[in-house]
C-alpha cells in the first residue's frame, strides 16, 4: 500500500495550493520542496478579481486580502505622448462581489497556503527534498528524493508543480517546446513615490525603448518590471537601472532599490500534462513571459480545476476527467494564455507603431463604464476551466 495518496512536488504557489486543496479533501498529502528556505525572489504580485473565488474556496482568501492591497483600477499609458486610459473595475460589481484585484508577493501567498496546510494532520511538508527522478507502474509512483535525507517516496498519484525546469517533467521525457525571448526582464522592487508622480496602483507604460509595468506592492514599495537586451551582461543590471528610471521622466527624487532580479522569459508548454498517475501543473506545464500577470493566473486555474477530479480519482472513481483536465488546460494555455501574454509583451515593450498604441489606449478609455467591456479588457476569465467545490468541513 502506498504511504501517500498524493505527493506534490514543489512548494511554489501552485504546489502549495494544490497540496492544501487535496489535504482539505481528506487525502494523505506529502509536499516535497527542494529548497531548505522557501524562495522569496520577486515574481507574481497581482491576483485578478476572477481568481479570488477559487482562493476563497480554498479558505485562503481572507488572509491574502488582509496581507495584500486591493486595487480597483488599472492604467495604460503611451509613455511618449501621455495618452492614457484609466479603467476602473467598479462596473464589475454587476458580475462579481469582489470587483478588485489583490496585490501581494507570491511568496506571501505560499506562506499563507502553507500556514493553512500546517493545520491539517493529514499533510506533511518536507523542505530540502529535491525530487530527482520519477517512475511509475499502473498502481503507484516512486520518486527519488535527494537532499540530506535521500530515499524513495511512494504515492498513488503525483502532481509535478516544480516550476519551468521541472525535474518531474524531464524525468518522464515530456518535451517543453516553444521559444525563449531574446530580451530579459528585470523585476525591480523599489521604494520610489510613483503615486506622487501621477501613477495608480497598476500601470502599463507602453514604449519600445522604456516600456515597463509598475504595480504597487505596499505603502512604499513598488514592482517596476523593465526590459532590456539579453546580450547585455546580467550582472551589471544595477549599473543601468538609474538611467532606465530617469528615462521614464518622473521627478528626480531619492529612491531605494530593494531588489532587482533579471529573468529570461519563455513561451513554452509541455507535450502533455498527464502521464499515467503523474499530472503537471503551473509553470512545470506551461511557461509564459509575465506581462499581464498571466503565468500564475493560469497556474491557479490549473489547480482550481484539478482538485475535484483528482480527489475523485484517489477515491477510485473513473480517472477520465483527468485526461479532460490535462487536454483542456493545455489547449487554453496554447490558444489563449500564451498568445495573450505575447500580445501584451509586444504592446508594452516592443511595438514601435505609436499611432497603433495611442489607438489602443483610446479604445480602452472609451470602454470604461461598461461591465462587459471592462470584463473584456481584463479578459483573463477565458483562462478559466472551473472552480473547486467549497469544502466547508476543512480544518484550516
Ligand atoms: C518577474 C515576474 C513577475 C511575474 N508576475 C506575475 C504576476 O503578476 N501574475 C501572475 O499570474 N504571474 C506572474 N509571474 C509568473 C509566476 O511567477 C509563475 O507563473 C509562478 O511562479 C508559477 O508558480 P509554480 O508554483 O508553478 O512554480 P514556481 O513558482 O517556479 O515554484 C516551483 C517550486 O518548486 C520547487 N522545485 C523546483 N524543482 C524541484 C524539485 N526537483 N523537487 C522539489 N521541488 C522543486 C522550487 O524551489 C519552487 O519552490 C511572474 C513571473 C516573473 C518571473
Cα–Cα distance for residue pair 210/58, rounded to 1 Å: 39
Query: Alpha-carbon torsion 7, 10, 16, 17, what sign?
Result: negative
Instruction: Quote the pLDDT of residue 392.
Output: 45
Is 235 part of a structural domain of the chain? no
Is 234 part of a structural domain of the chain? no
Is 222 part of a structural domain of the chain? no
Instruction: Quote the pLDDT of residue 261.
Output: 93
**Largest distance between two CA atoms of the chain:** 66
Find the mean pLDDT for residues 369-394: 65
Residue having the nearest C-alpha atom to atom 11 of ligand 1: 296
The tens digit of pLDDT for each residue in 13-41 reads: 999 999 999 999 999 999 999 999 998 88
* Mean pLDDT of the residues in the chain: 92
Cα–Cα distance for residue pair 309/295, rounded to 1 Å: 22
Q: Which of 7, 8, 9, 10 to mutate to test the pocket of ligand 1 (most atoms within 8 A of CB)?
A: 10
Cα–Cα distance for residue pair 65/135, rounded to 1 Å: 40
For residue 163, how far is its CA from the centre of ligand 1 (angstroms)?
5
Residues of the chain with pLDDT > 90, as a percent, come to 84
Instruction: Quote the pLDDT of residue 369.
Output: 66
Is 31 part of a structural domain of the chain? yes
The tens digit of pLDDT for each residue in 103-120 reads: 999 999 999 999 999 999
Tell whether the model's pLDDT for residue 277 goes beyond 80.
yes
Q: The domain containing residue 115 runs over which residues?
A: 4-69+101-177+267-346
CA 265 to ligand 1: nearest atom: 53
Instruction: Quote the pLDDT of residue 394.
Output: 43
Cα–Cα distance for residue pair 254/338, rounded to 1 Å: 38
Beta-strand pair 151-160/278-280: parallel
Helix axes 13-24, 294-314, angle to 10 degrees: 30
Q: Which of 296, 301, 304, 338 to mutate to test the pocket of ligand 1 (most atoms within 8 A of CB)?
A: 296
CA 14 to ligand 1: nearest atom: 25
CA 261 to ligand 1: nearest atom: 1
Domains of the chain: total: 1
Find the mean pLDDT for residues 282-291: 97
Q: Binning pLDDT at 50, 70 and 90, where does residue 305 land?
A: very high
Is 168 part of a structural domain of the chain? yes
Pocket of ligand 1, beta carbon within 6 A = 9-15, 32-35, 39, 43-46, 106, 130-131, 161-163, 167, 185, 187, 225, 263, 282-284, 290, 293-297, 299
CA 185 to ligand 1: nearest atom: 1
Is 297 part of a structural domain of the chain? yes
For residues 101 and 202, the answer to whether their CB atoms sit within 8 Å is yes
Whose cell is 549599473? That residue is: 239
Tell whether the model's pLDDT for residue 389 goes beyond 70.
no
For residue 29, how far is its CA from the centre of ligand 1 (angstroms)?
20
Q: Which residues contact 337 (CB under 8 A, 6 or more apart)?
A: 286, 288, 294, 297, 298, 383
Is 81 part of a structural domain of the chain? no
Instruction: Quote the pLDDT of residue 396.
Output: 34
Cα–Cα distance for residue pair 271/210, rounded to 1 Å: 35
State the first-to-last Cα distance of the chain, in angstroms, to the nearest integer.
Answer: 28
The tens digit of pLDDT for each residue in 227-241 reads: 999 999 999 999 999
Tell whether the model's pLDDT for residue 387 goes beyond 70.
no
What CATH number did the domain enclosing 150 receive? 3.50.50.60
Cα–Cα distance for residue pair 20/146, rounded to 1 Å: 24
Tell whether the model's pLDDT for residue 258 goes beyond 60.
yes
Instruction: Kindly list the strands in the beta sheet with 286-287, ordered across the sheet, starting from the edge strand earlier in the chain.
Output: 84-88, 73-78, 202-206, 212-216, 221-229, 176-191, 256-270, 286-287
Q: Which residues contact 219 (CB under 8 A, 6 or more apart)?
A: none
For residue 167, how far is its CA from the centre of ligand 1 (angstroms)?
14
Find the mean pLDDT for residues 228-255: 94
For residue 160, how far is its CA from the centre of ligand 1 (angstroms)?
12
For residue 352, how far is its CA from the centre of ligand 1 (angstroms)?
31
Find the helix or strand (DSSP H, E) in which 105 lies: none
The tens digit of pLDDT for each residue in 41-74 reads: 889 999 999 899 999 999 999 999 999 999 999 9
For residue 370, how far is its CA from the centre of ligand 1 (angstroms)?
34
Cα–Cα distance for residue pair 319/311, rounded to 1 Å: 10
SS3 at position 10 = coil
Is 16 part of a structural domain of the chain? yes
Amino acid at each position: 500500500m502506498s504511504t501517500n495518496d498524493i505527493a506534490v512536488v514543489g512548494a511554489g504557489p501552485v504546489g502549495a495550493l494544490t497540496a492544501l486543496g487535496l489535504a482539505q479533501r481528506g487525502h494523505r498529502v506529502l509536499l516535497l520542496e527542494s529548497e531548505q528556505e522557501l524562495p522569496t525572489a520577486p515574481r507574481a504580485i497581482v491576483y485578478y478579481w476572477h481568481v479570488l473565488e477559487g482562493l476563497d474556496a480554498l479558505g485562503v482568501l481572507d488572509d491574502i486580502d488582509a496581507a495584500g492591497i486591493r486595487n480597483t483600477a488599472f492604467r495604460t499609458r503611451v509613455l511618449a505622448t501621455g495618452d492614457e486610459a484609466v479603467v476602473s473595475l467598479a462596473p464589475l460589481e454587476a458580475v462579481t462581489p469582489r470587483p478588485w484585484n489583490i496585490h501581494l508577493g507570491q511568496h506571501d501567498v505560499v506562506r499563507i497556503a502553507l500556514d493553512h496546510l500546517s493545520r491539517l494532520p493529514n499533510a506533511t511538508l518536507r523542505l530540502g527534498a529535491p525530487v530527482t527522478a520519477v517512475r511509475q507502474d499502473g498502481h503507484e509512483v516512486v520518486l527519488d528524493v535527494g537532499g540530506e535525507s535521500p530515499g524513495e517516496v511512494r504515492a498513488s498519484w503525483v502532481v509535478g508543480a516544480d516550476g519551468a525546469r521541472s525535474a518531474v517533467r524531464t524525468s518522464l521525457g515530456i518535451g517543453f517546446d516553444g521559444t525563449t525571448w531574446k530580451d530579459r526582464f528585470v523585476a525591480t522592487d523599489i521604494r520610489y513615490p510613483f503615486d506622487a508622480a501621477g501613477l495608480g496602483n497598476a500601470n502599463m507604460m507602453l514604449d519600445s525603448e522604456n516600456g515597463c509595468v509598475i504595480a504597487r506592492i505596499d505603502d512604499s514599495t513598488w514592482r517596476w518590471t523593465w526590459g532590456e537586451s539579453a546580450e547585455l551582461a546580467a550582472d551589471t543590471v544595477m549599473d543601468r537601472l538609474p538611467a532606465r528610471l530617469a528615462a521614464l521622466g518622473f521627478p528626480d527624487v531619492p529612491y531605494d532599490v530593494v531588489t532587482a532580479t533579471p529573468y529570461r522569459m519563455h513561451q513554452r508548454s509541455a507535450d502533455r500534462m498527464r502521464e499515467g498517475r503523474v499530472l503537471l501543473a503551473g509553470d512545470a506545464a506551461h511557461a509564459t513571459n509575465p506581462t499581464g500577470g498571466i503565468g500564475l493566473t493560469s497556474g491557479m486555474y490549473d489547480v482550481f480545476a484539478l482538485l475535484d477530479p483528482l480527489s475523485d480519482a484517489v477515491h477510485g472513481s473513473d480517472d477520465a476527467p483527468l485526461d479532460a483536465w490535462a487536454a483542456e488546460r493545455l489547449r487554453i494555455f496554447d490558444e489563449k494564455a500564451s498568445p495573450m501574454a505575447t500580445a501584451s509583451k509586444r504592446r508594452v515593450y516592443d511595438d514601435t507603431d505609436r499611432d497603433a498604441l495611442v489607438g489602443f489606449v483610446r479604445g480602452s478609455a472609451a470602454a470604461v463604464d461598461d461591465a462587459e467591456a471592462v470584463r473584456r479588457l481584463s479578459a483573463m476569465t477565458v483562462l478559466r476551466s472551473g472552480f473547486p467545490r467549497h469544502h466547508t468541513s476543512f480544518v484550516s
